[in-house]
A and B are shown apart, each in its own frame.
Chain A
Amino acid sequence: MAKLLERRLTPADSPLAIFATTTGAFLVAMFVTSFLFLSYGASPFEAYFALFHEPFATLRGFGYSLVRTSPLALIALGTIVSWRSGFSYLGFEGCFVIGASAATWFALLTAPGAGIGPLPFSFFLPLAILAAFVAAGIWAGLVGLVRAWLGGNEVLISLMSNYVAIFILQYLVGGPIRAPGSLPETKLLPRATWLPFIIPGTRAHAGILIAIAAAALVWMLLQKMPLGYELIVTGFNASAARYAGIDVGRRILLSAFFAGGLGGLAGMVDVLGAQHRLMDGISGGVGFVGIVVALLARLNPVAVIPTALLYGGLSVGADAMQRRASIPSSITFILQSLAVLLVLAFDALRYYKVNFAAFSGRTPPPVAEEVSK
């Protein structure tokens, strides 16, 4: 008697299959979350409407969505670069903070009367990008060093480095660069350092353009450059990488540096585009949501921008939903993470295929596939 679900030797991995399981998982997550809405006495349709309408159907809300999208996208890109090289880096919260700090420090230096003084924006921006990228890149690179030389577990070390970075931030805004007053934050940054607004009537700023450019660069790196090829081979199979003449240790270092740099850019973009000052709590968990975005986007740089937009929009919509329907915004965390957990579970489904012959009770002929040796 044949079984209904037959186990394959290797999972179905056509883009269609992957897209199907991912979207299916997200939809199921939405379905489950609607029960939560019900428990608040709200109709799921109304709740979802509130959740999606503001960020995607109103201009102002869309502007805010773009604001939230940029750092998420950059962190997701950092996740992609590091994880696909086989380096499971989780310290993006810290990179965000370090990058934001570096950008702030540099911006304060260009305030009138300060060390460097005002710079034309076309000079300021690349330097600010450089400062944030390099500072955070070194931050992550240290973890890469520990992994490459000492064999330390980058998962735990990077997780804990987040806290160290946050303490550094708290120290900075509590003392050396604090603005006069009692709040743990810096002065408002000079207007000349702000990223330009790109959609009139909204707070959408050029950070989204930086994120899009970064996505294109990461895509190009991974698909079109020999270095990207080497990183991907290293991520799949370190033995094959060595066989191909790739210096695995060096590649991991490089990957850590790039990934950290992208995380730092996320911080820079947020500080110079939205917050305009450095403050305690500026990261707010974006380092982790960004990783979740990357996972939902299946570590594919092309899918990052739309996925980040979805999650960025969800967080804007969550605030709107909380204001209008008094449903706590934290429900979106549930939706966002549940989706990815379901993706993981659904992935296991790709190992099976429906055996239509079972419906008629026939035993299918044995599959003649050569044994992998």
Chain B
Amino acid sequence: MALKVVLVGCGKIADGHIEEIQKMPKRAQVVAVCDRELLMAEQIATRYGVPAYYDDVDRMLAVERPHVVHISTPPGSHVALARAAFQAGCHVFVEKPLALNSVEAAALVADAERFGKKMTIGYTYLFDPVAVQMRELLASGAIGDVVHVDSWFGYNLAGPFGSALLGDANHWVHALPGKLFHNNIDHLLNKLIDFIDDDQPEIQARAWRQRAQTFGDSRDDMPDELRICVHGKRVSAYGTFSSHVKPAAHFVRVYGSKSIMHVDYVSRTVTLDHGATLPSAIGRLVPAFEQAMQYLKQGGRNAAAFARADFHFFSGLNRLAAMFYDSIAEGGPLPISTRDMLRISRWMDQIFGLIGTGGRR
């Protein structure tokens, strides 16, 4: 039997959720959507053929009696909405960031446990095809022991979301403790959790505002460049969030005791750098061809995925949702542990505490 899914919060990311859920009709079906602005719920219901739409969550939960609630509202409302969903007997898929801070995040996790319900979070890139490939290579010992990780997340302030928040001094992002970073660096940090197992590693962070444009209001307080350095017991990491480096890259480099792995989320490629394995000039000549062959193979792999219609933008979201639904239906483990959700939430608190509010030019 397919799970009955409802979605709360009909903003931009809601499209991605509905599109992916509708690709797995045997697992789950979207039966209703909700937004406090009924017109927003109506528009998404119309575009995706969702049978019902509401502007009142409690009423939707009472009428539809769903199994799963997807929450894609601003983070300040996550705790209350998730609690309402748990109380109504639902499992919850909540968009990142989990909450406004780690205290709220812990309360949310506690609620899930109290009501005996499952919860996951939209760490979709952890389930992208390249992330899956990366884990397979790591398990095979391809790079040896991991020493250091470099996680890079580029952001386009001129994109749909960036334009929306720069065009509105009252945009909810400006009220978040970590502002722009708060809404994005889950994607930077969650790639480290496979490598840094510490609950509370040592973290250094620095942020600033690099853009010249000024508005004379709260938007000017929003830093747009962030650098972090994380020291775990065994593995260290750098994190970069950049709004100004173009193109807006998105990758992870994993530095091992045998080789270096480059995982590129934009070109969907995973390559290994073995360095020079042959002597002298030959040793400098061969690696470029070896790299070229790896990219050729990855390109072919992507082309094959495209040919079988398995090369979608939200592949990670699809895989995560499917694993979450299977975990509900079959009683298996969660795709993302609540410990990892809470660790990232605490790291974010620490980073926002270190960078303070406002930036510098």
Partners in one complex: no
Residues of A within 8 A of B (CB): none
